[in-house]
Amino acid sequence: MANIYKNAKHDFTGTSNVAVYTVPENSRAIVKSILITDDSGSGDTIKVDLVTPTSAGSAVFNLFKAQSITSNQSLQLLTEPLIMMEGEILRMTATTADRLFAIVSILEINREDL
- pLDDT attached to residue 75: 97
Total residues belonging to the chain: 114
- pLDDT attached to residue 56: 84
Q: How many domains does the chain have?
A: 1
- pLDDT attached to residue 55: 83
- Rounded to a whole number of angstroms, the CA Rg of the chain reads 15
Half-sphere exposure for 58 (CA within 13 Å, toward CB)? 13
Distances (CA, A) of 78 to 40, 57, 63, 68, 83: 23, 27, 10, 14, 12
| Within-domain flag for 114 | no
Half-sphere exposure for 82 (CA within 13 Å, toward CB)? 22
| Within-domain flag for 73 | yes
| Within-domain flag for 74 | yes
Per-residue pLDDT tens digits for 43-100? 999 999 999 998 888 999 999 999 999 999 999 999 999 999 999 999 999 999 999 9
Q: Is the pLDDT of residue 112 over 90?
A: no
Q: Is the pLDDT of residue 113 over 70?
A: no
Three-class DSSP labels, the chain = CEEEEEEEEEECCCCCCEEEEECCCCEEEEEEEEEEEECCCCCEEEEEEEEEEECCEEEEEEEEEEEEECCCCEEECCCCCEEECCCCEEEEEECCCCCEEEEEEEEEEECCCC
**CATH number of domain containing 50:** 2.60.120.340
Residue numbers of the domain that contains 76: 2-109
Per-residue pLDDT tens digits for 17-52? 999 999 999 999 999 999 999 999 899 999 999 999
Taking the model in full, what pTM does it have?
0.92
Per-residue pLDDT tens digits for 9-19? 999 999 999 99
| Within-domain flag for 19 | yes
